[in-house]
Chain A
Amino acid sequence: AQTVTQSQPEMSVQEAETVTLSCTYDTSESDYYLFWYKQPPSRQMILVIRQEAYKQQNATENRFSVNFQKAAKSFSLKISDSQLGDAAMYFCAYTPPGGGADGLTFGKGTHLIIQP
């Protein structure tokens, strides 16, 4: 079974600074998708960024970018110019193409605090 590990239960960063959230995963598949989701206090799970494993280029969405290291099975999220609205739980997730028997496999999350 696939596993996703987020080793940082909590991170804190000053507003306008850059922060990197870590994620590692384990799979025997060669093709898959990786995601970062944000869950603010409203509890709505919001898709932040998606990476397809067969694409070597790291995904970027405005201030959010990933560092995808396929061989190391590492998928970190970098948030640049942190804003107060970025404060949330961040979940790393994995799924094979077309979804899988286990749906999305999530890590336990990282609580991101933004210091004003």
Chain B
Amino acid sequence: KAGVTQTPRYLIKTRGQQVTLSCSPISGHRSVSWYQQTPGQGLQFLFEYFSETQRNKGNFPGRFSGRQFSNSRSEMNVSTLELGDSALYLCASSIQGDTQYFGPGTRLTVL
């Protein structure tokens, strides 16, 4: 089976812009979770989507949003980018939400 894919792999944006990241899960996986990884805060949970519904959400501002499509692919959007949003964004897929398999990540740099 193909693994989790994320696009794009690298992004450079400026403050105030918005960005959309994409994640395609492993075939048959209905749960997609997103994480932010920074040197200072480590790995933090953003949200989880299951069967097109947001099932859980971490402690992030409303500028961070996401959605999931009927084919389980997921997108994450960050509006009004801030310097502190520079991070590695990791997507993970799973069958039910517990054992998660990660994609290669999208490295976002905000200038």
Contact = CB atoms under 8 A, between A and B. Distances in A.
Contacts of A102: 45, 56, 58
Q: Which has the most chain A C-beta neighbours within 10 Å: B45, B92, B94, B103?
A: B45
A37 B58 CA distance: 21
A6 B73 CA distance: 33
Interface stretch (A13-21, A38-46, A63-71, A77-85): A38-46
B98 A99 contact: yes
Given A47-B101, A50-B99, A101 B56 contact: yes
B48 interface: yes
A45 B90 contact: yes
B88 to A, nearest CB: 6
A103 B56 contact: yes
A104 B100 CA distance: 8
B25 interface: no
Contacts of B24: none
A36 interface: no
Contact of B97 (A35, A44, A98, A109): A98
Interface of B is mostly: strand
Contacts of A45: 90, 92, 102, 105
* A46, A47, A104 interface centre (most CB from chain B within 10 Å): A104
Contact of B94 (A99, A100, A105, A108): A99
Contact of A43 (B31, B100, B105): B105
A6 B90 CA distance: 21
A91 interface: yes
Interface of A: 33, 35, 37, 42-47, 50, 91, 95-106, 108-109
Interface of B: 31, 33, 35, 42-43, 45, 48, 55-56, 58, 88, 90, 92, 94, 96-105, 107
Given A47-B99, A95-B100, A97-B98, 13 more contacts: A33-B98, A33-B99, A37-B102, A42-B104, A43-B104, A44-B102, A45-B102, A95-B98, A98-B96, A98-B97, A99-B94, A100-B56, A103-B35
